[in-house]
Structure formats: structure tokens, C-alpha cells
Structure 1
Amino acid sequence: MFKKVFPLSSIIFLRFLGLFLVLPVLSVYALELEYSTPLLVGVVVGGYALTQAIFQIPFGTLSDKIGRKPTILFGLIIFLIGSIICAYSTDIYTLMFGRFLQGAGAIGSVATAMISDLVEEESRGKAMAIMGGFIAMSFALAMGLGPVIASNFGISSIFLITSVLAVISMVLLFTSVPTPPKIRHIYHNDSKLSDILKDNNLLNMIIINTLQKGLMTMAFVLIPIILTKPLTEGGVFGWEKAELWQVYLPAMIAGLVAMGPAAVFGEKKNIPKQIFLLSIVLFLASFLIMGFTTSSSVFVVGVVFFFIGFNMMEPLVQSMISKFAKVHQKGAALGISNSSAYFATFLGGTFAGLYLDISDRGTLAASVSVIIVLWLIWTVLKLQNPTRHSHLYLDHDIVDLDKLTALENDNIAEWYINETQNLVVVKYVTGAIEEEDLQAKITL
């Protein structure tokens, strides 16, 4: 399974590394551009996510028509062009256009669909967790490298590196990513938005994904601006830009260390709810610390808390959505969740920039903390850990599909046909039915 997922996850890793490299420093460098204001800087930081949200569904639809690989290639080309425009921007509006273009290559939903094509159902949750882990690793690595590269070579160099990463991703796409088998899913009714939002677990995962991403861009507008604001202009810390690595490096290390155990306990022990609750508490502590402390050391602790919370969540989010969604809801649920998260990414940066224009960090931290507390209470009351499932694999030639269709009930979550391997795959609730009994009821 890992061999199937690794090449595609590597492409996602490189793409997100390119996007994340600029996050720790973009707000403070963008303030120096012509026509810049804190509000416009916030739009620039989260701008890529607005177009990501808009183009997620069109790219997913396109991949169904022309194939996954051509669609991913098209998205990477758009991302490459946007990165080059950003690299040579001299004013805030050109940089904003480049960021919008970076996000327009919205291949996230296509990559998720391709993993679903490549990986057997019982391993799909692990595959989603691996992809989430790669994203979390790119996030952590970028936090350490971004400030160092920007301080030594300028922020334009980061966008040029991002362009190179896009080209490497294109090469990997056609040299390492396997061609997926042909899968025919048996959907028995249409997915409705109302049904997804009425499911407490799915709604919770959409909320978790949305708020996590919104808080991420909010943090990356605030952290460098707060730390580097000169003392003569009312700043508290007065750091130099070249010193930003001192806050991001320990946060990066802590995030990487926390990510592994969180993924293991969340997946293998089946306790994602507990992991999410701990992450939310860390987000709350992080924003309160960053909003009110006057100590550089304590501020760094707040940033470390944020990174730990983010990296504990990231490997589990996509996996849990795919587990909670019913067979006919998976694509819609992932699409809604990702689009909502990207809109929140854009709004988080814009909201933080606007707040810096009209208020102060303490008021912002207090406002965000109220939202996080409500999020925590909602998750405690509503989210449940997923039901465990098992899988039965049978040769298509010995299965009576009419019997299988007639047998369907709450204990059979999904069944589909792997036409490449000529298999019928039945997913059922572990312990609710014996495998031998199930096989006897659906075979010729």
C-alpha cells in the first residue's frame, strides 16, 4: 500500500512545501511592497486558498472526464506560472494575482480521488493518513526553512524554489505514480448536502478541517508581524526578520515529534476524537499566549503549542472524513470539507489583516478564543470515534449481485467492483456478521 501512495503523496508534499515555505515570513515581507496595507497582506497570505476553494470541484469533475494524471499535470502547470509571477512581483497587487493563480491549480481533490482508486478500501484510511502526514511534514519543514531562506536570499528565492518543486512534481507524476485500477462503485442514491450536514460526525469533521485551516493563516499573518514590529512603533518584541527561525525551528521540531504518536493513536487505537480535543485545547492556549504575553520566550511556547495542535490534527482529518461518510457521500463530503477549509484559509488571513488595521492582538486573541471554546464544547458533545469495519474479497464470477443488493442493510457499509482484478469487495461492520455467513448468502 505504501508503495502505491508514496509517489502521489510526494507530489502533494512538494506542492504544499512550496506553498508553506512563504507562510512564516510572507506577511512581514509583503508589508514592504508598494501599495501594501495589513488588510491586503492578509489577502495575499490566504489568497491561494480562495481559488483553491473555487476550483476544487471543477478539477475533480475534469479528472473524471480526462483522467487523474492529465488533470494533476494541468494544475501543476498553473501552480508553476503563479509561482513565477510571485517571484518577480514588485507590488502587492501583482503578488496577490500570483497567489490567486497558485491556488487555481486545485489538485487536492484529484489526489484524494486517485488514492481512493489506487488503494484497497480497508487500507484507504491509512493511505489518507499517510497523505495527511506528508502535508504535516511539509508544513513543519517549511516553518524551519522558510525564514532562513528568506533572510539570506530574499522571499523571491522561495517562490523560485517553489517553481522548481512544481517541475519535480511533474516528473514524478509520469515516472513514479502508478496507473490506478478501474473501480466501479455501486451507488444506490444521490448524495445530498442536507444529509451530510445532518450527520454529526461529518459536520464535526467539516468544522474541524475548516477552523484548523482558518487558524493556520491567521497565525501566519500575526506571528511574524507581532515579533518584528519595531519597538519605536509600539512593538513589544522588536525582532529582526533574520531571527524568525528561532521561533519556527523549535515549533517545527515539536510538531514533527507530536505528529507520529497522534497518527498512531488516532488510527490504530481508534481514538481520533481524543486527539482532536487535545489539539483544540492547544490552539486555545496558543492564541491566548500569543495575544497577551510580553515575553519572547513565552510567545515561542505559544507558537510551539500551535504547531503541535496543527500537526496532530492534519494526518487524521481526511482519513476520518472518508471513514464517517457513507459510500455515496464520500466524494461530496471530501469536496465540501476541502472547499470549506480553503475558504476559511482565505478568510483567516483576511480577518487577521483587517483586525491589525483596526484593533490589537489582545482583542483578536480574545475573539478567537471564544470561537475555539465553542468549538471545543461542540466537539465534546457531538463527535464520536468511527465504527470499525472489515472487508470481504470475492471473485466476481461467484457473486450473485442480486443477492448482495437484496442483503444490504446497516451492517454492510459499502460494496463495489474492482474491474481490473475482477473482484467484488464488501465492507461490513466488524463483529456484526460472520465472514463465512456473509459469503454464503451472496455467492452463487
Structure 2
Amino acid sequence: MDKQESRAAGTLAAVFSVRLLGLFMIYPVFADYAQGLQGATAYTIGLALGIYGLSQGLLQIPFGLISDRVGRKSMIVLGFVLFIIGSVIAALSGSIWGVVVGRVLQGAGAVGSVILALVADLTSEDNRTKAMATVGITIGVAFMVAVVAGPIAASLIGVSGIFWLMAVLGFVGIAITLFMVPQPEASVSHRDAQAVPAMLGRVLKDPELLRLDFGIFALHAMLTASFLVVPDLLDRSLGLTAHNQWIVYLPVLVVSVVVMVPAIIVAEKYRHMKGVLVAAIAAMAVAEIVLMLAGTNVAGLLIALTVFFAGFNVMEASLPSLVTKTAPALAKGTASGVYSSSQFIGIFMGGVFGGWAHKVAGDPAVFALSAAVALVWLGLAVTMRQPSYLSTRLVRIDGTGDTEKLAERLRQVPGVAEAVVIAEEKLAYLKVDSRAYDQEAAVSATQAA
């Protein structure tokens, strides 16, 4: 990437991370804190933890589409304003229902799709994948930092202080957006980075994409539900209050990353993606069953948490790659948008049904519900097709000539499995095997008479 593209990727990754950092920091400490709020029950605590996912999931795609018309930065600033207002309401509220309202507004600032669209505006077709990867890595790092930092921050400023910190981070996000992120020359729709309404039907009818959508839904539903009861288990088994539990989360996450790296290498480099995926889901299912049966057994609890987070991190890194491999050339952005919305709806459902299970039958019921979700997901993964190991490439064209003949020439290029030419966008969308793809031959094909 050139200097401008690197700046765009770095600053937009920072915008993404300051928002996610606050949202994730609340996870390991919220259940303990919420018990002291007026009107709190196991169910309403789960609702409050997860409900931001509902508003975010529903508004994610619309925010991106609206930003095509009114501008990316305007929508990002609006999203952060909603996020700040929601954070302040949650910080000031002494009632669980006030926190619910605040969390709904936090999620309503659904700027994720807008940020990705702005990344596309500010990068060339050749470097867009690298820029998107930078943002994706930031999301994973933000989650791991937040899970460790949340308990530490709660011990220093309290959980209400974390909500105030979210508001401050919202202002930081606005400042970065307005003063550090480059201004794009124009905001246009990018099929490889944004949802296209005309492609939604095709994406929602694709059984392989739906399996992946269910996968990210299940992954975050299990995570949210588990955080409703794990902090209390750590307190009862190890005598660690929620404020001190970073002592457990830090080594657990470090080990999970050590496991994740070779697993991703095996999946991507040696093309054993399905095997790694099935193994990771099975590991998480076993971890949830152990958590259900272990009670306050320290060894069982720590081993199960480590196995769960190892599987979680493997899936968090693998599933977006699988969506890219599976989506049609013209529907990558749409498939990613539906996938992202499924993740946030999973957060909401995990909070709601996890809270309900906890209220009805206590900790074991939450883990039993999560294990059942994992087993359903495992069945879907076992029966999925082997992934194609294809990636999306964009090649610029001059927009003239016979587009069908150009597409046919591109299909003859080594490594190209699919080629669609959109004359008005002056782009050819390709699905390619990166091991065999010849970029120079593709460019030459677009210039042939």
C-alpha cells in the first residue's frame, strides 16, 4: 500500500477499535455489576448485555447504504454520537432498564459497514484486501485486549466508569474520523466491500453461506451466554472477584492464540479448512459440556475456558475467510454484510436466551444451551462442502467493448474460476485460485482487442 492507503487503513482500524474496545470491556464484568441494579434478574441482565447486538445487526447494512448518499464521515460521526448518548445513559442509570436503553443506542451507532465502505473508497482494487485485513486484525486484537482490560478498568473506575470511558472513546473516534482519516474523492458503492440490495436474495438462498452465517451467529451467542455465568464461577471456584479475573483471562487468551496460529496455517496454507473448522467447533462443544459438568472444579473450569477460547479464536479468524471463498464474485460485500449482521443478532440471542436459561435452571442450563447450539453447528459443518479456496480479485477495465467476450477471455486466464464484468463500474470481478492466478495475464486480457 502507498502512504495514503496505509494511513487510511491505520486510522480506520483505530476508529473501529476504539468503539469495539469499550463494547468488549463490559463483557467480563457486566453480570456481576448488573445484579445491583434496580429491576435486575438473570433474564434482564442477559437482555441488557446482548441487546446492543439487535440494534447493531438490524442497522448495519442500512447505515452502509445511507452512507453512499450522505457521505461516509457524516454517518460515522452520527453513529458515534448515538454511541456516546447510549454510553452516558447506561453510566447514569441505576436501573437495568435504563442500561437496556443505553445499550440499544450504543448498538444503533452501527458504523462497521460504513468504515469498511470508507476503506474501499480510500484504497485501490489491488490493495483493498490488505487494508481490510488490517481492520480485521484490529478487531481480534481489540477483543483480546478488552477482555483483559475490562476487569482492570472496573477495579479502578467501576463498571459505570467503563460506560463513561466508552463515551470518551466515542469522542476519540469522532476526532480520528474528522481530523486523521483521509477524505475520499467520492463515495461510491463497492460490491466487494458493501451490501448490494439486488444481491441479498442470492446470498440468502445460498446454503453454504447460510451455514457460515449460522456459524458466526452461534459463536457469538455462545460467547455472550457464557459471560453471563463464567465470572460468578471464577469467583466461587478461585475466590477471584470480577475485578481480578484478568489473572485468568490473560493466560487463557495467550494459550488460545498460541493454538490459533498453527491451526490457521494448517487451514489456509495446507488447505485443510473444513477439518480445522470441524475440530474447532467440536472442541467448543466439549468445552461447554465440561463447563456444565465441572461446577466449581478449578482444573475443569480452566481447561474448558482455554479450549473454548482457542476454538473461538480459530473460528473468528477462519469464518470471514470462508465467506470470501464461498461468496460469488459480485456478492462478496453483500455476503459479508449478512454475515456481520448474523454475528450481532447472535450476540442478542445469546444474551436473551442465556439469561432465560440462567433464570430457569442456573449455570448448568446456560452451558447446556450453548453446547446444544455448538452441536447443531457441528452437524452443519460436517455436512458442508469442501471450500473452494478461491479469493476475489478486481481488475480495472476501460468500460468499452463487448463485456461478455472480455469475461470469457478472463475465464481463460490461469487460476480464474469466475469472471463477471460490470462496464459501468469499469471493473471485472474475478474469483481466483491465488496459487495459480496470473495477474499480468488478467490485465493483458482486458487490453486485448
Letter paired with 1:212: L
CA gap of 1:67–1:329, structure 2 versus 1, over 3 A, is: same
CA gap of 1:124–1:134, structure 2 versus 1, over 3 A, is: same
Decide which moves more: 425-434 or 93-102. 425-434
* 1:114-170 deviations in Å (ceiling 9; x for gaps): 333344455544444432321111111111111122123211111122122211211
Query: Does residue 1:245 correspond to 2:246, yes or no?
Result: yes
* Residue 444 of structure 2: aligned partner: 439
Following superposition, the deviation at residue 295 of structure 1 comes to 1.3
Query: Partners of 1:124 and 1:114 in 2: how far apart?
Result: 11
CA gap of 1:439–1:240, structure 2 versus 1, over 3 A, is: closer
Following superposition, the deviation at residue 9 of structure 1 comes to 1.4
CA gap of 1:336–1:400, structure 2 versus 1, over 3 A, is: same
Query: Does residue 1:92 correspond to 2:96, yes or no?
Result: yes
Query: Partners of 1:190 and 1:115 in 2: how far apart?
Result: 20
Letter paired with 2:419: A
Following superposition, the deviation at residue 388 of structure 1 comes to 3.1
Following superposition, the deviation at residue 198 of structure 1 comes to 3.8
CA-based RMSD of the aligned residues comes to 3.2
Query: Partners of 2:60 and 2:399 in 1: how far apart?
Result: 38
* 1:154 counterpart SS class: helix
- Gap runs ≥5 in structure 1: 230-235
Tell me the TM-score normalized by structure 1: 0.86
Decide which moves more: 399-408 or 14-23. 399-408
Query: Partners of 2:396 and 2:358 in 1: how far apart?
Result: 60
Following superposition, the deviation at residue 386 of structure 1 comes to 3.3
CA gap of 1:88–1:390, structure 2 versus 1, over 3 A, is: closer
* 1:17-54 deviations in Å (ceiling 9; x for gaps): 11000100101110111111110000011011111112
Which residue of the other structure, out of 405, 429, 442, is the alignment partner of 2:432?
429
* 2:27 counterpart SS class: coil
* Residue 233 of structure 2: aligned partner: 226
Which residue of the other structure, out of 208, 221, 238, is the alignment partner of 1:214?
221
* Residue 104 of structure 1: aligned partner: 108
CA gap of 1:434–1:338, structure 2 versus 1, over 3 A, is: closer
Decide which moves more: 170-179 or 138-147. 170-179
* Residue 413 of structure 1: aligned partner: 419
Following superposition, the deviation at residue 262 of structure 1 comes to 4.9
Query: Partners of 1:355 and 1:193 in 2: how far apart?
Result: 33
* 2:383 counterpart SS class: helix
Query: Does residue 1:24 correspond to 2:25, yes or no?
Result: no
Following superposition, the deviation at residue 369 of structure 1 comes to 1.9
Query: Partners of 2:121 and 2:11 in 1: how far apart?
Result: 14
Following superposition, the deviation at residue 71 of structure 1 comes to 0.9
1:154-169 map, 5 Å: 154-169=158-173
* Residue 278 of structure 2: aligned partner: 277
- Gap runs ≥5 in structure 2: none
Following superposition, the deviation at residue 354 of structure 1 comes to 1.0
Taking only the aligned residue pairs, the percentage that are identical comes to 31
Which residue of the other structure, out of 174, 180, 183, is the alignment partner of 1:176?
180
Following superposition, the deviation at residue 417 of structure 1 comes to 7.2
* Residue 57 of structure 2: aligned partner: 53
CA gap of 1:80–1:258, structure 2 versus 1, over 3 A, is: farther
Query: Partners of 2:12 and 2:251 in 1: how far apart?
Result: 29
Query: Partners of 1:156 and 1:109 in 2: how far apart?
Result: 28
Which residue of the other structure, out of 365, 372, 375, is the alignment partner of 1:373?
375
**1:59/1:109 contact within 8 Å kept:** yes
CA gap of 1:332–1:184, structure 2 versus 1, over 3 A, is: closer
* 2:172 counterpart SS class: helix
Letter paired with 2:36: E
Letter paired with 2:418: I
* Residue 292 of structure 1: aligned partner: 293
Letter paired with 1:344: G
Letter paired with 2:345: F
* 1:360-391 deviations in Å (ceiling 9; x for gaps): 33343234323312312321221432333585
**1:413/1:428 contact within 8 Å kept:** yes
* Residue 232 of structure 1: aligned partner: none
* Residue 203 of structure 2: aligned partner: 196
Following superposition, the deviation at residue 306 of structure 1 comes to 2.1
* 2:28 counterpart SS class: coil
* Residue 115 of structure 1: aligned partner: 119
Query: Partners of 1:437 and 1:354 in 2: how far apart?
Result: 55
Tell me the TM-score normalized by structure 2: 0.85
Query: Partners of 2:75 and 2:189 in 1: how far apart?
Result: 20
* 1:396 counterpart SS class: coil
* 1:427 counterpart SS class: strand
**1:191/1:328 contact within 8 Å kept:** no
Following superposition, the deviation at residue 268 of structure 1 comes to 4.8
* 2:430 counterpart SS class: strand
CA gap of 1:263–1:71, structure 2 versus 1, over 3 A, is: farther
Query: Partners of 1:186 and 1:218 in 2: how far apart?
Result: 34
* 2:182 counterpart SS class: coil
Following superposition, the deviation at residue 356 of structure 1 comes to 1.2
